[in-house]
């Protein structure tokens, strides 16, 4: 069988934050070909559904999830010279190192960002001036009717940490095709990727966390830096704690599950400092991390 269904699975065990109650059903997909049918069935039954991925940027409801959580574990890659098609469940770090092993450095700047290739495409993950969309050619996905469709990258409505797939949660990314053009010496490419992964993880505070909690703002007042971490640090967020949720003392934009945090704790702490930054600098920070209720709907800060 190319998929499995588990009952009453604690979401806290499946996310980087370690927060969330039990999901009614957890569907693991190991073969992309089996997804459209069960995806369409889920929608036809009007069951709430959500794609978990690796759970790197998700804070789930304390009440769990009243429907089906999908985890796609299909992770094959198909290379044709400098064009590669990657299944959505492929770990992003593994893909970056695989590309580097072939001498391609186009996606090296993304090294160290947690998650899957599908999650990187959905959220247009980026770092150091590079974004996932930069070398993306097309995306294959399953729509709300179980039909497989392909969109060229130019039609995916990519913005800073946004895409058409975020705007259409009924769509499920299956594969992404990249055209890589920056070819360098293989050992140099591998060393660059591995060094960046190591440096990035050294900056991360230890503990349960999904990376940067808020997006960097597009505009800030004179005298302020355009970084969420800077705004939070200069507003005094470092080390502040509500319940089990705490802003790291190492990096102000890392909201941690310090001690059995609940989604309620995370929301209260995030909302507190959202308001303080807004009152202090006039900047309304948007979460980069996604918070969902027990039906998969986004919970606003």
Q: Residue 85 burial (CB < 10 Å; 0-12/13-18/19+)?
A: middle
Cα–Cα distances (Å) from 243 to 177, 246, 256, in that order, read: 43, 8, 11
Q: Given 54, 61, 105, 212, which residue is catalytic?
A: 212
For residue 89, which of 105, 78, 76 has the smallest C-alpha distance? Answer: 76
Cα 59 from Cα 214, distance rounded (Å):
13
Q: Given 12, 56, 131, 161, which residue is catalytic?
A: 161
Cα 141 from Cα 170, distance rounded (Å):
10
Answer whether 251's CB lies under 8 Å from 203's CB. Answer: yes
Answer whether 4's CB lies under 8 Å from 28's CB. Answer: yes
The residue behind tokens 């999901």 is: 23
- The yes-or-no answer on residue 288 being catalytic is yes
- The yes-or-no answer on residue 163 being catalytic is no
Q: Which two tokens stand for residue 190?
A: 């591998």
How far does CA 27 lie from the centroid of its chain? 19
Q: Given 25, 131, 288, 294, which residue is catalytic?
A: 288
For residue 212, which of 241, 251, 253 has the smallest C-alpha distance? Answer: 253
Give the residue numbers annotated as catalytic, written as ranges.
Answer: 161, 212, 288
């Amino acid at each position: 069988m190319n998929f499995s269904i588990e009952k009453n699975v604690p979401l806290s065990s499946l996310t980087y934050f370690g927060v969330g109650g039990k999901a009614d059903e957890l569907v693991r997909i190991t073969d992309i070909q089996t997804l459209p049918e069960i995806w369409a069935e889920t929608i036809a039954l009007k069951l709430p559904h959500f794609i978990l991925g690796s759970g790197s940027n998700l804070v789930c409801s304390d009440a769990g999830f009243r429907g089906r959580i999908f985890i796609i574990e299909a992770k094959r890659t198909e290379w044709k010279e400098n064009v590669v098609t990657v299944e959505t469940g492929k770990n992003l770090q593994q893909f970056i190192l695989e590309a580097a092993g072939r001498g391609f450095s186009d996606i090296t700047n993304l090294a160290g960002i947690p998650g899957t290739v599908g999650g990187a495409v959905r959220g247009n993950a980026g770092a150091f001036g590079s974004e996932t969309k930069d070398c993306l050619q097309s995306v294959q996905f399953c729509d709300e009717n179980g039909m497989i469709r392909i969109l060229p990258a130019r039609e995916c409505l990519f913005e800073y940490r946004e895409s058409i797939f975020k705007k259409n949660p009924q769509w499920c990314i299956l594969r992404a095709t990249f055209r890589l053009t920056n070819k360098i010496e293989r050992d140099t490419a591998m060393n660059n990727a591995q060094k960046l992964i190591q440096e990035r993880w050294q900056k991360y505070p230890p503990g349960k966390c999904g990376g940067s909690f808020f997006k960097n703002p597009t505009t800030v007042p004179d005298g302020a830096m355009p970084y969420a971490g800077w705004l939070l640090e200069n507003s005094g967020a470092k080390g502040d704690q509500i319940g089990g949720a705490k802003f790291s003392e190492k990096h102000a934009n890392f909201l941690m599950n310090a001690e059995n945090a609940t989604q309620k704790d995370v929301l209260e702490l995030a909302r507190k400092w959202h308001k303080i930054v807004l009152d202090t600098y006039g900047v309304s920070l948007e979460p980069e991390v996604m918070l969902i209720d027990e039906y998969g709907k986004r919970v606003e800060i």
